[in-house]
Structure formats: structure tokens, C-alpha cells
Amino acid sequence: MSISGDEDAALFRALFETAPDATIVVDSEGQIVLANAQADNLFGYDNGGLRGRPVEVLLPQALRAGHGAHRARFMANPRLRPMGAGFELVGMRRDGREFPVEISLSPVQTGDTPLFAASIRDISETQRARQALARARYDTLVGQAGRLALESRDNEMLLQKIAEIVANALSVDTVTVLIANAQQRDLRVRANLGTPSHLLDQLVPLFNADDSLLRDIADPRTLAELDHGSGAGALRALVLESGFRDVALMALFDRYEPVGMLVAFAADARAFDRDKLHFLQSVANLLSSALQRSRSEEQLAHAQRLDAIGQLTGGVAHDFNNLLTVISGNLQLLETENAAGEREQIIQSALRAVRNGAALTRKLLAFARRQRLTPRTIEPQSWVHELSALLKRTLGESVTVSIDCPPGLPNVYADPGELDAALVNLALNARDAMPRGGELSIGVYDVDTTQDGEVADLKAGHYVRIAVADTGLGMPPDVLARALEPFFTTKAAGKGSGLGLSMVYGFARQSGGTLKIGSQLGYGTRVALYLPSADPTAMPASVRAYSTAAGGGEVILVVEDEPEVRGIAVAFLKSLGYSSLVAANADEALGILRLHSRIDLLFSDVVLGSGMNGVDLAHEAQRHDAHLPVLLTSGYEHAMLDDDARFPLLRKPYSREDFAAAVRLALDGA
């Protein structure tokens, strides 16, 4: 069957008019030469109303000039562009209403006149479906971010995870979170995902140099909304110079003032539509809430510390006045004539008071987390075996001690001496709660918080839990609530300082663990001490005994700004067979080090008044002589020691025996 020319034309006309999409044909000048009824209806024209009009009449006024240039380029190099290839535009009806469209383009071969056909499809419903899916996805991610904000105890980890969620949701690679420090003086980077360092090096100073910039962009902004002639203009220029085509900035608020910024960078222009900005705003609000909660918790903790300091002040004054009375009274008694036996008793009484005072300061420092620990790898079964014998002797026959420490447990990473003291404290508390005797059970267990469930105050990881339970009287809720407070005790006057549990808690927290306590009146008390497990490859530290025998004439440089304390150290060294040189400050010590060719050990206080401290002196001395041993001493372990634990520390007040052992250990390089 053949079709005539007239029939062919009629068939074409029928297909053209019944095509489901709006279809137009445009000549090389951009004039519409054909338009089917669907095209007229879609754009709001009467039948045949589009014919003869320029094709740009179908676009919003703002897009017409740009489209004319695009049309000219396409006509110069025509090619088939199918529907659904991602080429979307905004159409405009005759009454001015805009709507999203998707088009296909193709050249039409007909005689010598070049023509171009365009099929146009209204995708309003499709776009609404896409937007609904995108918004549902954004809602899911906002919920995920909210859950993280509620559950996370680590702000740095929270901010980094939020940055990753934002980058994934917006299909960008670069997200940064800037937050002011606690004093709100300047911004710093708190989380970063993909932002080039050279951009951060300019971005942060730009905000910090202009105090008003953060307030000026407190409302959400994109690149197109940044002013040209202000601090925001400088920010706009910086973004463009860094190779990005768009940016979204969302302020983070702490109550009424912006204190930070959530920033997302995009490689494409106009990358952030209304839905994306709404998602960013929701995430910024969550971060602001988390920031406010964190700062409120810090303020509450600060208030609680102030309250604790008030209790500490009274407790310290009372206990130290008693200790000083004992020391002063005994020393005054030595001024009188006493028999040799009485003199020995007086001296021993004064020394006991000194030891009690030193123990009290250690408890205070442990409570305040200011005592420097020397953690080592401890093998649980060996430790428990030694501890068992000590506890049985200490607690007496009325208390039965049972220990459960299965083989194969990971090693503990903690300060051995402080761990012993902590367990003895817990055991003594248990004994005092069982006046008629009872059972004390100690269990050692392996805990993996990533698998066994989270434990409050602990980061995810491996821990060893040391559980101590007694069958004693237990505690009512009001006493349990205050059990960890310093100087809180239910014992009779003179029977306890109230620092035992707070000292154990301070030791646990400083060691990277925590302490949990539970009790019920009449049903005993249960205390769980969580400590980090050691690196499986680390060997347990062996217990070494250091000789306190007399020295062999080694020369010790003593640096101490208190003359009387310096005199004690020199006297101890002389009695032990060492030679000594003395300096009152770091400058004098460095001068002596330069003048004397033989100095076997630098023994220095950490705090030396004005000028260089003992840690700085140790570093400077070892720059002159890298092999010079150093031994530091301090009565209060400052933050200056936290970042450099390579120098051994002798705590004040020290006994002659402790001093001798520490000097020998430092000289031997152990």
C-alpha cells in the first residue's frame, strides 16, 4: 500500500495535532511557524495563537536574553536532544504564571529552510513528586542529626558527623562548622569536611577581623545574597577566588547572639534551592540547641564546682589546722628537755601528721583531677592476687573476701599505686558499712562499650570493670545522691574525711574511665570502677626495687626557690653520699650548667617563681646536654606537666627514702 503526497501531509498533520506533548516548530530566526493545540492550551493561547510569535515569549522575561544566545548556539550546531536528558526550563503562560517544563529538541529536514522542533512537557506534578521525595529524605536526615545531637557526649564527634550528613544530603564535598570559643571572642574551626586549608586560613581571620560580619549574616545567605561592598562582599570574593560557585551560610545561635556558622560550599552556581536551604536551617537549629545545651552543662558544672570548693575550703581548713597543730605541738615539745625515748615518740607523731597531710592533698588533687598519674600496663590476675592478701590483712576476720577474676582478661592501663589506693578505699568503706561482718566480693570483667552497650561518661572502646559489692547496711537515696561529694561523710567525727569516694572517682575520670555506684538501704552497696584496657601488645610493667644505698659522689644540681625546702634537699643528698650545687631560679641553674662540666642530675621544682618554670628549664638544659637526667618535684601538679610526661616527678612532701629511690632511678635512667 502506498501513500500519496496529500495523504502523507494529512498523516503528518494528524500526528502533529494528536501528539500528547506540546509541540512547536521554530525557524532559524526563532519564530514559531507551527504549534499544535496542546502547545496553545499549555501556554494559555487561543488556537493558533502561538504561530508567528518569537519562541522566547514562552519564557519568563528574566530568562529571555540568555535563551536567545543559547538558541543561536544550538541552531549553529543542531543535534538531537531527547526528552528526559536533564534539560529543564521554566515556562511562562500568557497570564504570567511560571511552571517547570522539560523539553526535547531536534532539527527538521524539510527543503532548504532549516527548521527546529521542540516537544514541551509540563513537569509540575513530576517536580512536586521529586520535591516530596527530597523533602522526605531531608526530614529523615534531620531526624538522624537530631538523634545524634541528643545521644552524643562528644561535641567534636557530633559536629564532624553533622558535617558528613550535610555533605551527603546536599551532594557537596565541602562543609565547615565555625564556633566561637567560650568567651565568644573569635571563631575557630570545630569541624571540617573537604575545605581547602588555604580557604580556611583566610575565612577564619576574615570573620575574626570584622566583629559585625557574623551578625550581618545572621540570616541564611547564599552567594547571590552576599553584599558586594562590605565584609560580606569580601567573603563573596574569597569564595569565588577559591573556585566555588555558590555558598550557603547558616548562623549558629547561643540564645540571642550568633556564635558560629555552618558553611557549605558548592562547585555549581545556584546549587542551593529553597528545600536545601530549609534543610540547612533545620540542621543549624539542631546544632544551636546542642551548643546551648553544652554551654548550659558547662555553666552548671562550674556552679557545682564552686559549691564543691566551698565545701573543700571548710574541710581543708579544719583538717590542716589539726595537722599543723600536731606538727607545731610536737616540734615545740622537742625544744624542751625530754628523755631520748620520749623524743623519738614526738618525732614519730610529727612525721605521722606530715604523712596524713600529704595523703589529704593527694586526695584533694585526685578529686580535682590535678594529680599527675603514671599509668602502666597491669595484669589483672597478678594484681588481684597481691591485693587479696593485702585486703584480708586489712579488713580482719569478720569480713569474707571473695574474688572473681577469670583468665584471659585484657590488661588494665592505670597508675598501679593509685589503683591499689582506690580499691583499699572502697574496701574500707565496705568494711565500715558491715559493723557485724559480712562479705566483700570483687569481680573483674571485660567490657566493650561498642558491643555491650554504652556507659554514661565513657567513650566507645574497651574497658575493664572492677566491681566491688558488700552485704552492708546500704545507703538511702539522699545519702547515695551525695556519696561522691568531697568531705561528705556519714561517719562519726574523726572517723573519716569524706574524701574516699570522691578521690576514687577523680582517679577513675583522670584515668579515662568512670565510677558508678548503686545502693539500697538494707541491701548493701555496689561500686563499679571502669578503667581503660591496655594495648594488647604492651607487656605488663614489672615491679622493680630501686636501691636507696648511698651515692657514689654524683653531682646533683638542686633548683628550688624556697630556701628552707632547698636546704632539706641538700641535706638529704649529703646524708646519702651525693654532692650538690644549688640555684634559686632557672637563670642561675643555666649559668651553673654552662660553668660546670660534670653535673649528673638536674633536680628542680616545677614552680620557680617568676621566669622560666622547671619544665622549661628541663627542656633548655637538655638542649645543652641531651643525656642529662632530669627529676622534677612539685606539691601541686600543674597543667604544664600534662603535655609532657617524659620527666619523672617526685611529689612533695617526700620522705628521705622516697627521695633516695627517685634520685637513684633517675641516675640509672630507668
92-123 pLDDT tens trace: 999 999 888 888 888 887 767 888 988 888 88
Is the pLDDT higher at 507 or at 488? 507
The pLDDT of residue 306: 52
Beta bridge partners of residue 176, listed in sequence order: 192, 263
Which range of 68-72, 324-328, 613-617 scores highest in mean pLDDT? It is 613-617
Over residues 529-541, mean pLDDT:
74
Strand 438-448 to 399-404 pairing: parallel
Q: Which three cell numbers stand for residue 260?
A: 558560629
What architecture does CATH give domain 128-298?
2-Layer Sandwich (3.30)
Half-sphere exposure of 107 (CA within 13 A, CB side): 14
The reply to whether 15-122 and 555-668 are identical in fold is: no
Least-confidence region, from 60-74, 136-150, 433-447 = 136-150
Report residue 331's pLDDT band, with 50, 70 and 90 as the boundaries: low
pLDDT in tens, 561-620: 888 778 878 888 888 899 999 999 999 999 999 998 889 999 998 888 777 888 889 999
Please say whether the beta carbons of 107 and 27 come within 8 A.
Answer: no
Report residue 307's pLDDT band, with 50, 70 and 90 as the boundaries: low
Report residue 321's pLDDT band, with 50, 70 and 90 as the boundaries: low
Please say whether the beta carbons of 38 and 19 come within 8 A.
Answer: yes
Q: Is 661 helix (H, G, I), strand (E, B) or coil?
A: helix
Phi, psi of 531 (to 5 degrees): -130, 145
Over residues 535-545, mean pLDDT:
53
pLDDT of 543 > 50? The answer is: no
pLDDT of 274 > 50? The answer is: yes
The pLDDT of residue 642: 47
Q: What distance, in Å, lies between the first and last C-alpha atoms of the chain?
A: 107
Q: Which three cell numbers stand for residue 247?
A: 555558598
Question: Where are the domains positioned within the chain?
Answer: 15-122, 128-298, 318-368, 376-532, 555-668
pLDDT in tens, 350-392: 776 666 666 666 655 555 545 566 788 888 888 888 888 778 7
DSSP H or E stretch at residue 470: strand 462-470
Beta bridge partners of residue 528, listed in sequence order: 467, 516
Report residue 467's pLDDT band, with 50, 70 and 90 as the boundaries: very high
Please say whether the beta carbons of 373 and 418 come within 8 A.
Answer: yes
Rounded distance between C-alpha atoms, residue 336 and residue 332, angstroms: 7
| Closest to 460 in 3D by CA, of 470, 475, 448 | 448
Rounded distance between C-alpha atoms, residue 90 and residue 23, angstroms: 16
Percent of the chain residues past pLDDT 90, beyond the cut: 14
pLDDT of 295 > 80? The answer is: no
The pLDDT of residue 87: 54
Over residues 303-322, mean pLDDT:
55
Torsion of CA 176, 179, 181, 184, to 10 degrees: 140
The pLDDT of residue 31: 92
Please say whether the beta carbons of 662 and 648 come within 8 A.
Answer: yes
Is the pLDDT higher at 538 or at 243? 243
pLDDT of 505 > 60? The answer is: yes
Q: Which CATH class is domain 555-668?
A: alpha beta
The arrangement of strands across the sheet holding 579-583 comes to: 579-583, 555-559, 601-605, 630-634, 649-651
What architecture does CATH give domain 15-122?
2-Layer Sandwich (3.30)
Tell me what the pLDDT averaged over the chain comes to. 79
* Angle separating helix axes 614-624 and 586-595, nearest 10 degrees: 20
The pLDDT of residue 12: 67
The pLDDT of residue 3: 44
pLDDT in tens, 628-664: 999 998 876 554 554 455 788 887 777 778 788 889 8
The pLDDT of residue 647: 83
Over residues 63-83, mean pLDDT:
84
Q: How wide is the angle at C-alpha 460 spanned by C-alphas 455 and 466, nearest 5°?
A: 50
Superfamily (CATH) of domain 376-532: Histidine kinase-like ATPase, C-terminal domain (3.30.565.10)
The pLDDT of residue 53: 93
Report if pTM > 0.85.
no
Least-confidence region, from 161-175, 275-289, 357-371 = 357-371
pLDDT in tens, 205-225: 888 877 778 888 878 888 888
Report residue 544's pLDDT band, with 50, 70 and 90 as the boundaries: very low
Per residue, the 3-state secondary structure of 551-614, as one string, reads: CCCCEEEEECCCHHHHHHHHHHHHHHCCEEEEECCHHHHHHHHHHCCCCCEEEEECCCCCCCCH
The pLDDT of residue 494: 42
Rounded distance between C-alpha atoms, residue 322 and residue 340, angstroms: 26
pLDDT of 28 > 50? The answer is: yes
Q: Which three cell numbers stand for residue 604?
A: 628542680
